[in-house]
Chain A
Amino acid sequence: MDLVVEWGQVHALLGENGAGKSTLMNVVYGLVRRDAGEILFNGQPAEIHGPQDAIRLGIGMVHQHFMLIPRLSVVENIILGREIANAAGVIELDRASRSVRELSERHGLAVEPRARVQDLTVGLQQRVEIVKALYRGAQVLILDEPTAALTPQETDGLFEIVHSLTREGNAVIFITHKLGEVMAVADRITVMRRGKVVASTKPADTKPAELAQMMVGRPVLLRVVRGPSHPGEAVLKVEDLVVQDDRRHLAVDGVSLEVRTGEIVGVAGVEGNGQNELVESILGLRSARGGRVILNGRIITHRSTRRRLQSGLGNVPADRHRMGLVLEFPIADNLVLSDYDQAPFANGLVRRLRAIRSYALRLMKAFDIRAQAPEQPVGSLSGGNQQKVILARELATQPKVLIASQPTRGLDVGSIEFVHNRLVSQRDSGLAVLLVSSELDEVLSLADRVAVLYRGRIVAVLEGDAIDRERIGLLMAGAA
């Protein structure tokens, strides 16, 4: 594949998860070896064997998962590898702090050099990453999915930073799968699919729908088709719930919420504002310090997770590899993970393998799980098919309430469509869905009501016309 990036431009690299965008950029940054081809920098062939070579050429990269060390200070993170020190190797922290402060303020990226990275918001941590690249003399900045964890306002702030960097003559490569961002920020767009460049264009010459089609290879509906909801009675109620996180800090601080049959309630918020703790506490994976969880009119606050699941709770966990599946196990065993010991899948102590297999085959067909056989390990499936296994397992038991956390994270567009349509069709047949997602677009396109979580509190519940992108963005940032 070919890619040409020019000075002073924002070059967007658009493609689905797994299209090869990040791999390509890791090659440019020297983290992954190339098998063939060459990289030219200012017209000269560049030999990049490791990050050091890339840094020397003036290439900086901000990874999707930040490469920061939470327990160190901002200045320590920034100077790491290019320390300001005296002849004896002792770091001159005051001098380093001054130069970091000066550099960051010059680019409008003010950060406090002595602050600990773990105390900063995600948006500020990203600033630290950008300052870190600039400190290393980066003139070409690669941003890998930079808006994944940002609020809309923080995203706007990032776009400003990106534009001011290119005005100074730097080049920015912006990797994303979000069409709206590409249209807003890019000077040039390169679309990738399955490791190949399928198009190269400009925002003025294209439309989001066209880009989506190039990215996926077929026409895509950008919006979920969804009629009005017909909510019934409240099946899941959370009252004044108080939950602590692992460090025993207050993570959920008096949350009250209800989900009715036939509706999708979205929980919007920047990651780390108590979503995980809220979900874990509803599921019984984390004990509540106060408040109540009521399912179907029964208080389940002190019931075990297993009994909660049996009383009609379904769960699509955010981290499907760690919490949703046993990757080494076959598809069939994963499909009966929550009722493997009950009829018809077991007879006393003996598992009934034939019943499990035929059940698995049925679900694989119903949920379009593409695999050779039910015996195939679930870890060998694509992300989309893995998520379908989880959805199939959770929905097949006909729960009253489904808790779906980040249900489409890391999936390709086709699978996202599938998951979204399933959630909506289940809603229409009476399921109550609690959707927890840090992708604001997902919440906006699926939820009938939106609860905004900020620092462990629900700061607003919006409904109907009140569901407004800007407004939610401000609420997520704690600004409204």
Chain B
Amino acid sequence: MEFLSHQDVVGLLAQTLVTATPLTLAALGGIMCERSGVVNIALEGIMLTGAFVGYAVALATHNVWLGVLAAVVAGMLIATLHAALSVSLMVDQIVSGMVINILAVGITGVFYRNYIESSGLAGPDTLPHWNIPGLSALPVLGRIFFQNQFVTYAMLILIFAVHVVIFKTVWGLRTRACGENPAAAETAGINVYFVRYINVITSGALAGLGGAYFSLQQIGNFLPNMTGGRGFIALAAMIFGKWTPIGAFGASQLFAFSDALGSRLQIANVHIPIQFLGMLPYLVTIVVLAGAMGRAVAPAAVGKPYRRS
């Protein structure tokens, strides 16, 4: 099997890390959100919105960095809608998330067709590759970790940032308290609504950044529904990773590996129909989740609107 040379294996691992970038970011968002007690199946829609708005702003300003910023802000805005619906108005959190997913597909599609596709504007550049001086020359590790673009570096840093916030800080303790037993948090003098709002909005920022990966890092273009269900795979990664940032990163790696492997096999001319190779990440998700379900324990109060008495 000639495609399994040393070079290829390193390349495969490097591609895995890159492919895992949006999964991990959205999963981190899911963790922030669900640890505070709010289910977020809107990650998919938030990423798609981030991808679109980021691309549109980059196109209009000729500046990819403003595009990345805009993706994050757009994610926060649409997450605020999720927070308002599910925390304040106590709409069922699944319904609210689904509403946002459908809304995102519709709105980004309409705007894309009416304004961008027809404008004939040239797409913005993709984010530059940064080789970290010194580290990028390391054997194997350098290629995998230190020759990447901005969103991937940001992901690597955010894994540890979210870990510290959730498990080491005052904010994290309060977040976990709201997700486990909001009534207890309230009697301890914590404003459950405030904590949930901030966490939902933060999850929007993270997923929005994940969205920027698609349009500004990967291809420098926007395509309708380009997130292709990655937001849902991110949810699976969050569950498989037991609602921990490092676990979710590991799970994202697994899903991304099957994705990367699928595309490598295509290039290597293995005689499996391309459609089957494309199914790989989704199949792995189903298999892994079937095994993980029931064993992973969600925050006790996740999905339940909190009503002050």
Contacts and interface: CB of A to CB of B under 8 A. Distances in A.
Interface of A: 26, 29, 31-32, 50-52, 55, 61, 63, 67-72, 76-77, 79-83, 85, 88-91, 132
Given A32-B309, A81-B174, A89 B183 contact: no
B140 interface: no
Contacts of B169: 85, 88-91
6 cross-chain pairs, A with B, having the tightest CB-CB distances, nearest first: A81-B188, A67-B184, A52-B189, A81-B189, A83-B170, A69-B180
Contacts of A69: 176-177, 180-181, 184
Nearest to A132: B188
B168 A91 contact: yes
Nearest to B297: A71
B187 A83 contact: no
B173 interface: yes
Contacts of A61: 187
B29 to A, nearest CB: 20
Q: Most B CB atoms within 10 A — which of A26, A63, A91?
A: A91
A61 B183 CA distance: 13
B164 interface: yes
A80 B300 contact: no
A277 to B, nearest CB: 19
A72 B180 contact: yes
Contacts of B300: 70-71
A231 B43 CA distance: 65
Contacts of B185: 80-81
Given A55-B189, A85-B169, A68 B181 contact: yes
A72 B175 CA distance: 12
Contacts of A90: 164, 168-170
Contacts, number: 70
Contacts of B177: 69, 72, 80
Contacts of A80: 173-174, 177, 184-185, 188, 190
Contacts of B188: 51, 67, 80-82, 132
6 contacts: A31-B309, A63-B187, A80-B188, A85-B170, A90-B164, A91-B173
A26 B180 CA distance: 22
B186 interface: yes
Contacts of B164: 90
Interface in B165-224: 168-171, 173-174, 176-177, 180-181, 183-190
Contacts of B187: 29, 31, 51, 61, 63, 67
Contact of A71 (B171, B174, B180): B180
Q: Most A CB atoms within 10 A — which of B180, B183, B186, B187?
A: B187
A429 to B, nearest CB: 45
A15 to B, nearest CB: 20
Nearest to B299: A71
Nearest to A80: B188
Given A80-B188, A90-B169, A72 B176 contact: yes
Contacts of B173: 72, 76, 79-80, 83, 91
A63 B181 CA distance: 14
Nearest to B184: A67
B98 to A, nearest CB: 27
A26 B187 CA distance: 10
Nearest to B165: A89
Contacts of B171: 89
Nearest to A62: B187
A52 to B, nearest CB: 4
Nearest to A55: B189
Contacts of B174: 80-81
